[in-house]
Amino acid sequence: MLQISSKPPKKTILILFTKASLNILPFFDIEEKKTIQNKLNDGMQIISFNKTQKNYFLIPIEIDVTKKEDSVNEKFRILGNSIFKTLKENKETEVSVEVLGDLSKEYLASILLGINLSEYEFLKYRTKPKAYGLTVSIDALLLDEASVNELNLITESVRITKDLVNEPVSFLTAAQYSKEIQKIGEAAGFSVIVLDQKEIEAEQMGGVIAVNLGSSAPATFNILEYKPKKALNEAPLVLVGKGVVFDTGGLSLKPTRNSMDMMKSDMAGSAAVVGAMYAIAKAKLPYHVIGLIPAVENRPGYEAICPGDVITMYNGTTVEVLDTDAEGRLILADALHYAKRYNPELVLDFATLTGSALRAIGKEASVVMGTAEKTIKKKIKKAANSTGERIIEFPLWDEYGDYMKSDIADLKNLGPMDAGAITAGKFLEHFIDYPWMHFDIAGPAYVSSNYNYRGKWSTAYGVRLLFKFVQNQCKDVSTKTEN
Ligand code: BES
Ligand code: ZN
Ligand code: ZN
């Protein structure tokens, strides 16, 4: 946790200093400075020093001016993770931050965010949880209170998303997921309407119904809305998220190792929507945002949908379900159709949709495609780069659409072996009539080993990107209206 404090520094002091400012380091005499210099020359990233009953952690800051600001920010978030690990090893629980030399507030914030995000642990199922907590105090002259609060809010929103994703399905059924979303909505100030299985059936959401057929637990369809009094956007921004609380593949069963064992994370797209809406609502951003989350469990069972079955989607399209493991597109399609009623300015969907996206780019970015205009794509890219939640755009050429035509129905849910991320995107495109971008986050959403400040398991990919995007939208719209 970060906090503003004007009190005298704690027993442990973190000194961030540029190399040029080594000579003006207070607290140290010439001999000590020499030792520090030697350690610096050895390339040490963090130099610890005990003196007059205080612990100093000296962090040399190097800013590569040839690098883009975005990559410097990412480097500093990762540095924050190294600092955190050192403080944890030393069992430090309270530290004060000092800055010497030229370090912009933005870069300082990145280091602090890296430290703050590193604190996350998922301890719910430990009978003897050993939680380690760190409080970092900083003078308001170094970083204003609003910025510090924002860093804490981002960290909290990321935590909310991670907790949801890391929950196994033994607890987080679709119905339980809806309850959690309702609690989060109440805490943040957005409304949540939950359609239950009966209402989903009455609405004839054929995709959602079909995917959940093999499960004995009911599906839900969640409608989240944050509508501030003076919203800057006339038509809402709609965020759609894939909420498969577990994906066994259904009758097209997945193999166990490295495949099915991580599939409690198949609702990561929707959890990113929840975390982002928490941040947006808590920050009281003047922006109207709606979240749509179809939540289901994809299981084999007597009632389960069979390969070859033809279903009728919410919008009336018929789909031949050739592979029951391609279920994400079926529930997203219904949610995308639902979104039309809002005449949205833009719809963004987040989904752990294809292994193809994961294989194409690994955990380093999401695979993105869509119909939004260039300026919007640019803004999304900007938010993605500045948060380190990078994206890469894939094409939606017409040819790929032909791959999804069925002999027996309007569409099939399975394309050829190749270009799987794109054919999934092409399938979704069939259900939209508004500017839209699709984020296939199968790569970056969930990792099995530590990934710097992102941690292991859920990374909460998308939360920071979405918050930044909406923040930037607010700035852009308000400057436009001023002119
Ligand atoms: N949830 C998976 C995609 C996935 C794979 C997410 C790996 C995260 C890590 C999705 O429902 C799926 O199984 N997709 C299939 C689609 C195929 C059958 C067309 C895939 O990508 O193999
Ligand atoms: Zn699947
Ligand atoms: Zn899935």
| In-domain check, residue 149 | no
Phi then psi dihedrals of residue 16, to 5 deg = -95, 120
Asked whether 368 and 380 are in contact (CB, 8 A), the reply is yes
Q: What is the pLDDT of residue 194?
A: 99
Q: What is the pLDDT of residue 169?
A: 98
186 and 111 housed in the same domain:
no
| In-domain check, residue 147 | no
Query: Which of 108, 139, 170 is where one domain is finished?
Result: 139
Can you tell me which atom of ligand 1 is nearest the CA of 423? 19
| In-domain check, residue 144 | no
Residues in the ligand 1 pocket, defined by CB under 6 Å: 247, 266, 323, 325-328, 352-356, 358, 414, 420, 442
Write the CA distances from 323 to 109, 145, 249, 255, 421, integer angstroms: 46, 52, 8, 14, 15
Residue in 425, 421, 463, 428 with CA at minimum distance from that of residue 442 = 421
State the total domains in the chain: 2
Q: What is the pLDDT of residue 25?
A: 78
Can you tell me which atom of ligand 1 is nearest the CA of 325? 13
Q: CB under 8 Å to 218, separation ≥6 — which residues?
A: 174, 175, 196, 197, 212
Token output for 22:
């080594």
326 and 474 housed in the same domain:
yes
72 and 200 housed in the same domain:
no
Q: What is the pLDDT of residue 482?
A: 64
Residue in 294, 341, 340, 334 with CA at minimum distance from that of residue 313 = 334
Token output for 353:
């949709």
Residue type at position 329: R
175 and 132 housed in the same domain:
no
Kindly give the interhelix angle for 268-282 and 145-166, rounded to the nearest 10 degrees: 150
CATH number at residue 40: 3.40.220.10
Q: For the whole model, what pTM was predicted?
A: 0.97
Cα four-point dihedral sign 92, 96, 97, 100? negative
CATH number at residue 177: 3.40.630.10
Query: Which of 109, 139, 169 is where one domain is finished?
Result: 139
Which residue positions in the chain have pLDDT lower than 70? 481-483
Query: What ligand has the least distance to the C-alpha of 441?
Result: 1
User: Hey, which of 246, 248, 354 would you mutate to test ligand 1's pocket, going by the most ligand atoms within 8 Å of its Cβ?
Assistant: 354
258 and 387 housed in the same domain:
yes
Range of the domain at 471: 154-482
82 and 209 housed in the same domain:
no
476/460 Cα distance (integer angstroms):
26
Active site amino acids: 254, 329
- Rg over CA atoms, the chain: 24
| In-domain check, residue 176 | yes
How confident is the model over 9-33, as pLDDT tens digits? 778 999 999 888 877 777 788 888 8
54 and 158 housed in the same domain:
no
123 and 183 housed in the same domain:
no
Token output for 208:
């959602």
221 and 102 housed in the same domain:
no
127 and 205 housed in the same domain:
no
Q: What is the pLDDT of residue 89?
A: 96
114 and 198 housed in the same domain:
no
161 and 133 housed in the same domain:
no
342/43 Cα distance (integer angstroms):
56
Which residue, judged by its Cα, is nearest atom 9 of ligand 1? 442
Ligand 2 centroid to residue 361 C-alpha, Å: 19
